[in-house]
Chain A
Amino acid sequence: MTASTPAAGIGASTRRRDGAALLTGRARYVDDYRPHGLHYAAVVRSTVAHGRIRSVDVSGAETAPGVVLVLTGEQAARHAGPIPYFISPATRGGREVDIRCLEPELVTYVGQPVAAVVARSRVEAQSAAAAVRVEYDSLPHVLDADTALLPDSPRVYPDWQDNVVFAKTYGAGDAEEALHGADVVVSGEFRIARSTTAPVEPRGYVASWDATDEALTVHGSCQNPHQLRYMLSASLGLAESAIRVVTAKIGGSFGLKMQGLPEETLVCLLSMLSRRPVKWIEDRRESLMSGAREQIHRIRVGAKADGTITGLVNRIVADAGAMTAQAGWAMCNMSASTFPSGYRVPDCRVELRLVATNKPPLSAARGFGKDAAHFVMERAVDLVARRLALDPGEVRRRNFIRAGEFPYRTATGLNIDSGDFAGLLDKAQAAIDYPAVRELQRRRREQGRPLGVGIAFELTPESSDSPGTFVSGFDTTTVRMSLTGRVTVLTGVTSPGGGNDTGIAQIVGAELGVPVEWIDVVQGDTDRCPTGFGNFSGRSMVVGGGSAALAARDVRATLRTVGARLLERDPEACEVVDGTVRSVSEPDCAVPVPEVAHAVLTRAFAAAAEVEPVLESTRAYKPGNIDHRPDELGRIQPYPTYSSCLHIAVVEVDAETGKVDVVDYAMAHDCGTMINPDLVEGQAWGAITMGIGSALTEQLVFDAGGRLVSDRFKSYLLPRAGDVPEFRLEHQVTPSPFTMHGNKGAGEAGVGGAQAAVANAVEDALAPVGACVRSLPLTPPVVLDLIEEATR
């Protein structure tokens, strides 16, 4: 492989390409689009948790100033069909209901869209929406998953026999037998409260229906433009070719902005019916309704006296809230199949039940369910260490899959490609100076000040592929060089803020042998980019980068052939470097790439005779290791790569108030080859901070009627700068054998590991009183209760 300017090549921390636009306020987020004649939408939402709509009175809204359209669920159903599921539960043996952009009949949570208004201004739309009167026949509701499983529980969907959306058992071996033969068995019930992703930019869409051309243009804060186009075409009955989806600059997403949400279809329908461009920007109170996670795990783990874990049984009850066409419901699958993480536990059984309740649905969230597995698994490993009075680091070391054992198939079927987990532990312990921290802990304890150290390992399967769904393990990129040598990269992956366009440009620059400054990256436009799958599951650099490299190599080959002719050399003896084609042995014998490009495209029958005169290639990249053919236990292998990391958190606990402060934090991280270390670090820190937030303060609280109480940032507490320590990050590189550049997904790792490390640290701090951490978040009242319970 040839390298261009080293500062910009693979492995360099090139600064962000879009930096100037973002730093000067020129970048365009969805709310910044204001097509001529723009109108604004507001959504009327259910005020009851469960009920049948008796009547919708729109008279007050229709006559309100500025209003051009009021739409009820019943009317919407005449124009738009159900929204296709991103991942269909029915194809997995689960249950489905029709998801509509406006619910015409049965509301299942407070906040469900039931009507909508279009008006001249935002204020007029909101005022008119408040004037819509909806009456309901209330039905009994259920807000908690355990209760929803009881035989006499209200049913969220009355025609279902119970509230179970989906149930499945994962694992291999005989776990009960293994527990039976263990020296010790530890058990616990662990609860993860509902939190949310809360990007600082809420969701939003601007739809412009062109009635003359019968064409729809949608600008959206959306991670998956092609899937959104398909979905809109299905729900609105339009040809895909009549729809153009453009993803604006995205102000953070973390899964929330994956498609499948009712407002996407709704805003388009409002534009079509009102024949005006319509914008809807989510209010923060609407945005905070999307759940990210909520689960209960009841786990038993058996171990030998030396700390070797022999078996694991876990029963998971995951709270789905109401049903959604978004991918959120499917996260619990990953919670189950990520057990037993990076540990050698051949006898393992995980039973999963996903349960509907009358709360808002889940939306996909960074971690995609793996976070829950890590919180619980790492708590369990600590319980084993505590029971056996062993160092938690040593118990992990004893049970880790060994560096020589990869690829390693876990009991749940994941085929872990590579790693060195003990190496990560060494690095993290060195970064935090583990012996010194333990010594500090001893001294603090003497002063009666609880300080705790928590260790957590995290395995992050990334770049998944789910057969028959939009969760695709490959992607596609076009690399196109113009007459003047400018390069346009059109890729199917999107960048909701992480900056993967910079990484992709680095790869193309390196493969093509031209400076990155010559390269423009175009993402998120269904009319321009090849069919692709957008952003999820830490996939963008793996498959976006891989496909970009393949396409760039094709273009480079043509440049080399024609360049060599111009130089009157053998192509085999030439290379493309630093924007020139040159002879390997005589570097002065060189021709600039723009001249070569010009020759290819203007002298097709001379310099480029017998060469196909095209400086463009579209290639897809499919990484290795994915295998959807079920093995003898019915297990499939949906992931090419598995990133891994090890977290160590140091916390102080104020024993009088229960307040937890994270005072130090180290993470050793392995995502294989790093394309751009700065981008990787940025992702890791953001994810850890999100994990710390959900471990300590973030919680969606509902009142008895199912109304969200924590509906603003004063009551839903995100971490601020003063809440988190400065992080210590160590890198380890074990390249993936299954991806082109040896890179693994980066971006999801951090949430679950941070939750687990903080929880373990709090328990460690409280070890002298013997408190046991069983739930998240660990708010001061919860921690104070733990202390009092243990000392009672």
Chain B
Amino acid sequence: MKTPSATRTTFDYRAPEDLDGLADALGTARGAVSVLGGGTMLVPDISHGTAQPDTVVDLARTGLSGLRRADGEVVVGAMTTYRDLLTTAPAPVPLLRRLAAGVTGGPQIRNRGTVGGSAAFANPSSDVPAALLALRARMRLLSPDGVREVPASDFYTGPFATVRRDDEALIEITLPDPGAASFGYVKFKLSVGSWPIVTATAVAESGGGLRVAVGGAGRVPVAVMLTEPADPADPEWLAHIRERVESELDSVGTWTDELAEGTYRRRIAGTIAARSVAALRGDDERR
């Protein structure tokens, strides 16, 4: 075991108040930079020495929170908290509202944990990344060189790894306005306090077809396109969705951590995916 240790040396702290200030802070930061969102993961990691930044760039004062509609899109500020998702009425993205309601850790975590933090952290077991994949979101990254956009499907490169460079911060997430499209969201956990083991998001796309994204089971979130079944309980269709999900998982590799083996996650992934489709159709009381 590692001896409990705090960050050995202290770090520079920058709290820019707008995007120009943020770009400047990212460009002039000393050494290894950590971008601080709500801090629910990063601050404990700093106190346990698992993150040892030289500079912390705190987004708290950048005004990057909130959801807005623009040109057929919804823009989610990186600092939008789960609480913001729950209290913004009417909810521009009902799926994200549903997701936020299921985030554990109590109001304390929902008040401070951010969509951007979860998206950037890229923990395979988090709720947000797979949902963003299902929603065909694009990640907007700011660096001293300007802004670039990366689709969620290209953003995740591995567990806790993304294409984001060290001098970039995720500032916004944009997604096609889902309007009133139906969706299903199901997450499976070992107990109330456990990380999600497998999450599944089903979205009925405007062009027809079902997009189902699965998180937690693979090293990165995966998505499959399916045609909507006549009967989501049909064994043949269940076998089909299972097979599609499993083959996607096999191509990215399954995720194992101290809570569950990859083999277990793979075993139940198809079931949870099928449940998300049933939830989308409103005929699963188990959720």
Chain B residues near A707 (CB-CB < 8 A): 1
In Å, the complex CA distance between A491 and B8 comes to: 46
Q: Is A618 an interface position by the 8 A CB rule?
A: no
Chain A residues near B163 (CB-CB < 8 A): none
Which of B70-118 touch A at CB < 8 Å?
104
In Å, the complex CA distance between A780 and B194 comes to: 12
Contact of A720 among B7, B8, B192, B257 (CB under 8 A): B192
In Å, the complex CA distance between A294 and B188 comes to: 28
Which of B199-248 touch A at CB < 8 Å?
none
Interchain CB contact under 8 A, A43 and B261: no
Interchain CB contact under 8 A, B190 and A717: yes
Chain B residues near A717 (CB-CB < 8 A): 190-191, 193-194, 259
Chain B residues near A714 (CB-CB < 8 A): 193-195, 259
Contact of A127 among B2, B8, B271 (CB under 8 A): B8
Interchain CB contact under 8 A, A127 and B190: no
In Å, the complex CA distance between A122 and B257 comes to: 31
Q: Is A286 an interface position by the 8 A CB rule?
A: yes
Chain A residues near B271 (CB-CB < 8 A): 656-657
Which of B1-52 touch A at CB < 8 Å?
1-8, 48-49
Q: Is A172 an interface position by the 8 A CB rule?
A: no
Q: Is A696 an interface position by the 8 A CB rule?
A: yes
What size tier do the contact residues of chain A reach?
35 or more
Interchain CB contact under 8 A, B193 and A713: yes
Interchain CB contact under 8 A, A780 and B5: no
In Å, the complex CA distance between A656 and B258 comes to: 21
In Å, the complex CA distance between A122 and B194 comes to: 30
Chain A residues near B193 (CB-CB < 8 A): 713-714, 717-718, 720, 723
**What residue of chain B has the Cβ atom nearest to residue A722's Cβ?**
B192
Interchain CB contact under 8 A, A126 and B190: no
Interchain CB contact under 8 A, A723 and B195: no
**What residue of chain B has the Cβ atom nearest to residue A121's Cβ?**
B6
Do most interface residues of chain B lie in helix, strand or loop, or is the interface mixed?
loop
Chain A residues near B8 (CB-CB < 8 A): 127, 130-131
Q: Is A711 an interface position by the 8 A CB rule?
A: yes
Interchain CB contact under 8 A, B191 and A708: no
Q: Is B267 an interface position by the 8 A CB rule?
A: yes
Contact of B5 among A129, A710, A711, A718 (CB under 8 A): A129
B interface residues, how many (CB within 8 angstroms): 30
Known: A720-B191, A723-B192. A781 touches B261 (CB 8 A): yes
Interchain CB contact under 8 A, B1 and A45: yes
Interchain CB contact under 8 A, A780 and B190: yes
Contact of A784 among B5, B7, B48, B264 (CB under 8 A): B264
Interchain CB contact under 8 A, B4 and A285: yes
Chain A residues near B190 (CB-CB < 8 A): 659, 697, 717, 779-780
Q: Is B150 an interface position by the 8 A CB rule?
A: no
B283 CB to closest chain A CB (Å) equals 15
Which of B179-198 touch A at CB < 8 Å?
188, 190-195, 197
Which of A754-782 touch B at CB < 8 Å?
779-781
Interchain CB contact under 8 A, B3 and A129: yes
In Å, the complex CA distance between A715 and B191 comes to: 11
Q: Is A220 an interface position by the 8 A CB rule?
A: no
In Å, the complex CA distance between A623 and B171 comes to: 70
Q: Is A611 an interface position by the 8 A CB rule?
A: no
Q: Is B252 an interface position by the 8 A CB rule?
A: no
In Å, the complex CA distance between A789 and B286 comes to: 25
Q: Is B60 an interface position by the 8 A CB rule?
A: no
**What residue of chain A has the Cβ atom nearest to residue B125's Cβ?**
A714
Chain B residues near A131 (CB-CB < 8 A): 8
Interchain CB contact under 8 A, A126 and B192: no
Interchain CB contact under 8 A, A784 and B267: yes
Q: Which of B4, B260, B286 has the most CB of A within 10 A?
A: B4
Q: Is B161 an interface position by the 8 A CB rule?
A: no
Interchain CB contact under 8 A, B3 and A721: no
Chain A residues near B48 (CB-CB < 8 A): 285
Which of A101-146 touch B at CB < 8 Å?
110-111, 122-123, 126-127, 129-131
Known: A713-B193, A781-B264, A784-B267. A123 touches B6 (CB 8 A): yes
Q: Is A719 an interface position by the 8 A CB rule?
A: yes
Chain A residues near B3 (CB-CB < 8 A): 42-45, 126, 129-130
Interchain CB contact under 8 A, B5 and A285: no
Interchain CB contact under 8 A, B194 and A701: no
B10 CB to closest chain A CB (Å) equals 9
Interchain CB contact under 8 A, B191 and A126: no
**What residue of chain A has the Cβ atom nearest to residue B193's Cβ?**
A720
A166 CB to closest chain B CB (Å) equals 27
| Chain B 260-287 near chain A by CB (<8 Å), digits 1 or 0 | 1100100110011000000000000010
In Å, the complex CA distance between A289 and B1 comes to: 10
In Å, the complex CA distance between A111 and B4 comes to: 11
Q: Is A709 an interface position by the 8 A CB rule?
A: yes
Chain B residues near A57 (CB-CB < 8 A): none
In Å, the complex CA distance between A285 and B2 comes to: 9
In Å, the complex CA distance between A656 and B261 comes to: 16
Interchain CB contact under 8 A, B260 and A286: no
In Å, the complex CA distance between A401 and B240 comes to: 57
Known: A701-B258, A721-B192, A784-B264. A127 touches B6 (CB 8 A): yes
In Å, the complex CA distance between A719 and B264 comes to: 22
Chain B residues near A697 (CB-CB < 8 A): 190-191, 194
Known: A701-B258, A710-B258, A717-B194. A657 touches B5 (CB 8 A): no
Q: Is A283 an interface position by the 8 A CB rule?
A: yes
In Å, the complex CA distance between A111 and B2 comes to: 8
Interchain CB contact under 8 A, B4 and A719: no
In Å, the complex CA distance between A27 and B67 comes to: 43
In Å, the complex CA distance between A130 and B272 comes to: 43
A655 CB to closest chain B CB (Å) equals 10
Interchain CB contact under 8 A, B191 and A719: yes
Chain A residues near B257 (CB-CB < 8 A): 715
Interchain CB contact under 8 A, A715 and B259: yes
Interchain CB contact under 8 A, B191 and A696: yes
**What residue of chain A has the Cβ atom nearest to residue B48's Cβ?**
A285
Interchain CB contact under 8 A, A657 and B188: yes
| Chain B 141-152 near chain A by CB (<8 Å), digits 1 or 0 | 000000000000
Interchain CB contact under 8 A, B1 and A47: yes
In Å, the complex CA distance between A47 and B5 comes to: 14
Interchain CB contact under 8 A, A285 and B1: yes
**What residue of chain A has the Cβ atom nearest to residue B260's Cβ?**
A781
Chain B residues near A126 (CB-CB < 8 A): 3-6
**What residue of chain A has the Cβ atom nearest to residue B259's Cβ?**
A715
Chain B residues near A286 (CB-CB < 8 A): 4
Known: A657-B271, A780-B264, A781-B260. A723 touches B4 (CB 8 A): no
B195 CB to closest chain A CB (Å) equals 6
In Å, the complex CA distance between A111 and B261 comes to: 25
Chain B residues near A44 (CB-CB < 8 A): 3
Chain A residues near B194 (CB-CB < 8 A): 697, 714, 717
Chain B residues near A718 (CB-CB < 8 A): 193
A440 CB to closest chain B CB (Å) equals 16
Chain A residues near B104 (CB-CB < 8 A): 720
Chain B residues near A779 (CB-CB < 8 A): 190
A663 CB to closest chain B CB (Å) equals 13
Chain A residues near B6 (CB-CB < 8 A): 122-123, 126-127
Chosen A-B contacts, 11 in total, with CB atoms closer than 8 Å, are: A42-B3, A47-B2, A127-B6, A283-B4, A285-B48, A697-B191, A714-B194, A715-B257, A717-B193, A720-B191, A780-B197
Nearest 9 pairs of A and B residues by beta carbon: A130-B5, A283-B4, A722-B192, A720-B192, A715-B258, A781-B264, A123-B6, A656-B271, A709-B258
* 17 additional contacts (CB under 8 A) given A654-B286, A717-B194, A719-B192: A42-B4, A43-B3, A122-B6, A127-B6, A130-B5, A656-B271, A657-B188, A657-B268, A696-B191, A701-B258, A715-B258, A717-B191, A719-B191, A723-B191, A723-B193, A780-B197, A780-B264
